[in-house]
Amino acid sequence: MSTPQTREQWQQLADNLTFNGQAFINGQYQNATEGDTFACISPINGQVLTEVASCGPADANQAVACARAAFESGAWRHAAPTERKQTLIRFADLMLAHQDELALLETLDMGKPIRDSLGIDVPAAARAIRWTAEAIDKVFGEVAPTPHNQIGLVTREPVGVVAAIVPWNFPMLMAAWKIAPALASGNSVILKPSEKSPLTAIRLAALAQEAGIPAGVFNVLPGYGHTVGKALALHMDVDCLVFTGSTAVARQLMIYAGESNMKRVWLEAGGKSPNIVFADAPDLQKAATEAAAAVAFNQGEVCTAGTRLLVEESIRIRFIALVADALKQWQPGHPLDPATSCGAVVDQAQFDRIMSYIDIGRQEGATLVSGGQRVMQASGGLFVQPTLFDGVNNQMRIASEEIFGPVLSVIGFTTADEAIRIANDSIYGLAAAVWTSELSKAHKTARALRAGSVWINHYDGGDMTAPFGGFKQSGNGRDKSLHAFDKYTELKATWLVLD
């Protein structure tokens, strides 16, 4: 069947979709050892899609033992890099071959528009796997500069058993950023998707197996963070824990690692990214269009969302009008309608959180310019209008705390130094943008910003070639690019003194 073009066609496909909620351990789908399940509820209409295995410590133990055995067997890690490359490329190709099904699962599970899950999530996840696979037979070790009678080799080895705990906002893509370099460099992986969006991770397991990844090398454990997530993080035989999620959980994972085996911990955490618009921005309309997208794309459930809009006072009123206008393009619609740009919020808890922050903004004295309402309530789904606040100062909770919803705070400034000071006055340091026509001002500002990604005259650029991650409490380590291999490998120095 060709890719659906209308909401009705997507709905028809959804009606015929089979959902698998089982764990995948050692090449087999299975229920949780204790038989526990939880309901996987679609935020589009509140309907239960399926029951999902709620894994716990026993499942974690089993998966880790299988992952360890697979690692020790060498079936994957000793395979030539070209062989791992070909297998992973097959995996990426299979993802694309199943793009409609994967996109639909993602949309039904967490509410994002089908246009995005099909146009962004699936291809970007497949590209992450393909790009990384293509790189793995092109990364070399080093030969140290030594005296004549010595040889020093610096090589990289897979770290062993990797547990990857990921969030619900880009379930497949965040998983791909972890599993691609982990698998490419020869590790065994246990993927723990968010309890709010487990379906694509579970489906990927079968595709990985079909591509030829050996049993035990790629396992998927659905379940809650405080049960199976915690069990993996505390496990004495997990060598490396990679995470994308909130800063609060990231902090807890460092404690678990310290309390257990000092496993390596790599964290991609929260953000409160500043988007700085100077009066001399080259194109104010473009800046406004992108400022709106920066907070409304994916319902604002984006770690790099440009939630603090810093605008030079001389253009503030004019610019806010442009942004308010641009936000009209982001009014919520049915996620299966290909025309929809803004879908449903992931679940009731997240919905309540967003609505409570909108109340907090009002109580703090910010001016509500537009949005702020629940819409499409009759659908049974969770839909929030993109919301624009003016008159915000950086100390307000809506400016300092990560909301993870489509709520934009406008903060005025008068000098570049003031803008930089406000931008950096955050516990986070994930991303930032600066809009100006002046080359020196652009680069001076970019240099001064304490953030892992800085965009000049656009928002949210980059691709697999560039590292992604945060300064400060936005995390450590980097996903994407060749730098990602650092997280999944140990460096070994082998020294030989010649007779």
CA-nearest of 71, 72, 64 to 235 is 64
Question: Exactly one of 103, 172, 284, 303 binds ligand NAD (CB under 6 A); which one?
Answer: 303
b/e per residue 376-386 (b: at least 16 CB within 10 A): beeeebbbbbb
Among 45, 252, 331, 393, binds ligand NAD (CB under 6 A): 252
The token pair at 228 is 């199976």
Distance in angstroms between the alpha carbons of the first and the last residue of the chain: 68
257 or 320, CB closer to ligand NAD? Answer: 257
Residue 471 binds ligand NAD, judged by CB under 6 A: no
Active site residues: 268, 303
Among 180, 233, 323, 423, binds ligand NAD (CB under 6 A): 233
61 is an interface residue for ligand NAD by CB under 6 A: no
Question: Applying CB under 6 A, does 195 fall inside the site for ligand NAD?
Answer: yes
Nearest approach in angstroms of CB 485 to ligand NAD is 17
- Cβ count within 10 A of residue 485: 18
Which residue reads 């691709």 in tokens?
A: 463
Q: Which is nearer to ligand NAD, 171 or 391 (CB)?
A: 171
Using the minimum distance from each CB to ligand NAD, give the nearer residue, 270 or 274. Answer: 270
Q: Is 271 in the site for ligand NAD (CB under 6 A)?
A: yes
Answer yes or no whether residue 347 interacts with ligand NAD by CB under 6 A. no
Q: Is 165 in the site for ligand NAD (CB under 6 A)?
A: yes
Site for ligand NAD contains 230 (CB under 6 A): yes
Rounded least distance, CB 130 to ligand NAD, Å = 20
Q: Exactly one of 23, 105, 126, 174 binds ligand NAD (CB under 6 A); which one?
A: 174
Q: Contacts with ligand NAD in 411-440 (CB under 6 A)?
A: 430
Least distance (Å) between residue 6 CB and ligand NAD = 31
* 226 makes contact with ligand NAD (CB under 6 A): yes
Min. distance of Cβ 294 from ligand NAD in angstroms?
14
Size of the site for ligand NAD (CB under 6 A): 31
Our finding on whether 274 is near ligand NAD (CB under 6 A) is: no
What are the residues facing 38 on neighbouring strands?
52
- Name the residue nearer to ligand NAD (CB basis): 265 or 288: 265
User: Counting contacts by CB under 6 A, is residue 244 touching ligand NAD?
Assistant: yes
In the bound state with ligand NAD, the residue whose beta carbon lies nearer, of 249 and 322, is 249
Instruction: Choose, by CB under 6 A, the member of 21, 113, 181, 225 that binds ligand NAD.
Output: 225
Contacting ligand NAD (CB under 6 A), which of 475, 480, 481, 489?
Answer: 475
Q: Which two tokens stand for residue 304?
A: 């790099």
55 or 211: whose CB is closer to ligand NAD? 55
**In the bound complex, what is the minimum distance in angstroms from residue 87's beta carbon to ligand NAD?**
26
| 81-97 vs 122-136: helix crossing angle, rounded to 10 | 170
Report strand pairing: 308-312 vs 274-277.
Answer: parallel
Alpha-carbon 56 to chain mean position: 24
What minimum distance in Å lies between the beta carbon of 428 and ligand NAD? 8
- Least distance (Å) from ligand NAD to the CB of residue 463? 15
Q: In the stretch 310-339, what mask flags binding to ligand NAD with x, by CB under 6 A?
A: ------------------------------
Q: In angstroms, rounded to a whole number, what is the distance separating the alpha carbons of residues 414 and 448?
A: 17
Q: Using CB under 6 A, which of 64, 162, 249, 403 touches ligand NAD?
A: 249
Binding region for ligand NAD (CB under 6 A): 165-169, 174, 192, 194-195, 224-226, 229-230, 233, 244-246, 249, 252, 268-271, 303, 402, 404, 430, 470, 474-475
